[in-house]
Structure 1
Amino acid sequence: MSAVSEIHLAVALDGAGGHPVAWREPGDRPAELFTARHWAGVVAEAEAGLLDFVSFDDALALQSASPGGQDERTDRVRGRLDAVLTAARVAPLTRHIGLVPAVTATHTEPFHVSKAVATLDHVSRGRAGLDVRISGLPHEERHFGRRTAPLQEDELHEEAADHVEVVRRLWDSWEDDAEIRDVATGRFVDRHKLHYIDFEGRHFSVRGPSITPRPPQGQPVVTVRATDSA
């Protein structure tokens, strides 16, 4: 057996925690679950514990114990903040820890995702990541009304792959030295170093370039959860 040369430690953040009744613990301050103070506190604790990164869970529907998302239980946390916006809020309050918000590629335009994560990378000075999710649930489909029926699983994976490809190309659509910022000459950007991506696929047709300058990392980390079928 070969030795593992490097291990990265992280924590997945979702509501009050993984246990369904964790929100009732006095220390979790249930009244603050949807406040910036709560999220800043848990991320600061993770950073103080020297973890490499945190992920922020997200989805396109309320949490549910039922596959159809229809259970009527009132004793569980329901509702969550937007993962990317939450990560952006806590970014200036941290220094070293990576910030990896979840984004559901299904129903979400890659152009918007690329600029949101690029913005997070700028705000955090190179600590952003992207946790890609897919969704084939009919009740989530009905939030958008763009399709008459959900995609099959293989199509969902194909769409997600195209989604990530578009996002990555948009991050690369600005060259590293595209920004000049020369006050003396009045030139802020070298237009020749911004490039169309001209992506044509089954699910997306995106010309580009991005309207957000290249992320400090160039290519922020893209992840999927090991528990996901993706």
Structure 2
Amino acid sequence: MTVRVLIADDQAIVRTGLRVLVDRDPELTVAGEAATGEEAVRTARTECPDVLLMDIRMPGKDGITATRELLAAPETAAVRIIVLTTFDTEENIFAALDAGASGFLLKDTDPAELRNAIHVVAAGEALLAPTVTRTLIDAYTSRRTPRLTGHTGHGLTEREGDVVRLVAAGLSNAEIAGALSISPTTAKTHVNRSMAKLGAHDRAQLVISAYRTGLADPP
């Protein structure tokens, strides 16, 4: 199935570059462009993209505010948002994760890596850019909420707890299945049930929940 991608950036040259990047993948298609946060929200509501590439710094409503607004609305809550920025500061990463973004990438990311990231986020498979974000999750969880060491986590079964720890370690459903000697379908079911119990809308939020509740130790 073709993944529909909305591009939001205030610089026309960046939007053009991202459009070319997306168009080069036969399994991706551009669903539209936006130059401001307001336009990103409006276009996402009308075009219903699968993935939104969201710049942080835009005039008026910034990308973080637009991300939070889109994911809080039922009609756009399913949109997977990848935040793109030239600044890899802790503040930006924390803000993106708090807003519910599914991924965080720098604009100088390799084109092939960005295309892969779009596919990964569309499938809900993993937390993106581990080299950027996972080194900061420990600081994020320790600053925002004390970890509850030993907490079993909102009614999770023992097997669901095992699955959540493997998700936090960065494993895909297929890798989890291999590690636990279960089928990929069963692994996906455990992941989905764990997300529901922990109130996580995607795997990125599931990882954060795992660290915050003490189910997994931050890297």
TM-score past 0.5 threshold: no
The two structures have a TM-score, normalised by structure 2, of 0.30
Higher Rg: 1
The two structures have a TM-score, normalised by structure 1, of 0.29
